[in-house]
């Protein structure tokens, strides 16, 4: 079966229409079928519509995603309540251990992203993975750091990423491998992204899934839930009875 590739983390300012257009065109040229440019707490309907239209014109499926870096647990809960029913992918950016733990066990969270390049500030460990394995959250790994870092910092980061990926695999936490880039020149073709994921310890089949099946599964699951006919997992309205 032919793979359908997705890059759910193209970190462009949605207001920068020129750069967004270049990103979208390059993603289509490279062979992606789904992309996402994350929003934060400012979810503008006009900007979303413009990105969806631009993507559709080149044959891309635009996925509506929101990223948030909570200040505390109350902030996290407020964000989840406000945006869970508005977006197709919800990512929590984790730079605090307590926030990371809370996000991992909340079934409303789709992605856990650990952006720090300092291994001492990365909190995806066995306790985090165990919590995530009981929920629905996947671990998102960005390729950007592997592209821009060099020397000892890159070696240290690679060691951290390989450890995190190994833990995620042990606890059966899905892994999503995204680009995480904001510059079109740093974008990579799907198979190149797959090759980069080998560096963090993924096998061929796992690497392909991390750029295709895993992100598409998250999107598909949430689109079903956002459908007006959805009632609960496994229950949908087929036809409404007439009075």
Residue at 218 is within a domain = yes
Q: Residue 99: what pLDDT?
A: 94
Q: Domain for residue 48, yes or no?
A: yes
- The CATH number of the domain holding residue 188 is 3.20.20.140
- Give yes or no for residue 207 having a pLDDT over 60: yes
- Region for 230 from its dihedrals, namely left if φ exceeds 0, alpha if ψ lies in -120 to 50, beta otherwise: beta
Residue 40, domain member (yes or no): yes
Q: In Å, what is the CA distance from 21 to each residue of 7, 67, 205?
A: 15, 20, 32
Nearest to 88 by CA among 142, 150, 34: 34
Question: Distance between CA 138 and CA 168 in Å, rounded?
Answer: 9
- Residues 216, 6: contact at Cβ < 8 Å? yes
Q: Name every residue whose Cβ is closer than 8 Å to that of residue 123 and which is 6 or more positions away in sequence.
A: 94, 96, 97, 100, 101, 114
Distance CA 2, CA 70 (A): 38
State the Cα torsion 198-204-210-216 to the nearest 10°. 160
Is the pLDDT score of 232 beyond 50?
Answer: no
CA distance linking residue 60 with residue 174, whole number of Å: 24
Let me know if residue 14 belongs to a domain. Answer: yes
- The parent domain of residue 224 ranges over 6-236
Residue 227's contacts (CB-CB under 8 Å, 6 or more residues apart) are: 236
Q: Per the domain annotation, does 242 fall within a domain?
A: no
Over residues 149-193, the pLDDT tens digits come to 889 989 999 999 999 999 999 999 999 999 999 999 999 999 999
pLDDT for residue 237 is more than 80: no
Structural domains counted in the chain: 1
| The token pair that represents 154 in the structure block | 């890159």
175 occurs within a structural domain: yes
Categorise residue 151: left if φ over 0, alpha if ψ from -120 to 50, beta otherwise.
left
Q: What is the DSSP letter of 242?
A: P
CA-closest candidate to residue 7, choices 190, 224, 217: 190
The reported pLDDT for the residue numbered 41 is 79
Nearest CA-CA partner of 16 in 181, 188, 182: 182
Q: How far apart are CA 234 and CA 26, in angstroms?
A: 38
Residue 52's contacts (CB-CB under 8 Å, 6 or more residues apart) are 62
In this prediction, residue 205 carries a pLDDT of 96
Q: Convert the pLDDT of each residue in 113-150 to its tens digit.
A: 999 888 778 889 999 999 999 999 999 999 999 998 88
- Whether 241 is covered by a domain: the verdict is no
Q: In this structure, is residue 59 part of a structural domain?
A: yes
């Amino acid at each position: 079966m032919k793979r359908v590739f997705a890059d759910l983390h193209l970190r462009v300012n949605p207001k920068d229409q020129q750069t967004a257009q270049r990103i979208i065109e390059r993603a289509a040229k490279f062979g992606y079928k789904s992309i996402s440019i994350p929003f934060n707490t400012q979810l503008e309907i006009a900007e979303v519509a413009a990105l969806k239209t631009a993507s559709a014109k080149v044959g891309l499926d635009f996925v509506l995603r929101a990223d948030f870096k909570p200040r505390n647990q109350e902030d996290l809960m407020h964000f989840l309540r406000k945006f869970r029913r508005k977006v197709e992918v919800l990512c929590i950016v984790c730079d605090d251990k307590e926030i990371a733990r809370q996000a991992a066990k909340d079934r409303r969270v789709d992605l856990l992203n650990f952006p720090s390049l300092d291994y001492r500030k990365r909190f995806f460990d066995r306790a985090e993975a165990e919590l995530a394995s009981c929920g629905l959250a996947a671990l998102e790994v960005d390729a950007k750091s592997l592209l821009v870092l060099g020397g000892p910092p890159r070696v240290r980061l690679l060691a951290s990423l390989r450890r995190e990926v190994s833990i995620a695999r042990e606890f059966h936490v899905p892994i999503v491998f995204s680009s995480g880039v904001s510059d079109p020149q740093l974008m990579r073709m799907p198979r190149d992204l797959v090759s980069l994921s080998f560096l963090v310890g993924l096998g061929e089949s796992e690497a392909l899934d991390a750029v295709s099946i895993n992100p598409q599964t998250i999107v598909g699951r949430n689109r079903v839930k956002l459908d007006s006919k959805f009632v609960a997992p496994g229950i949908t309205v087929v036809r409404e009875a007439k009075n």
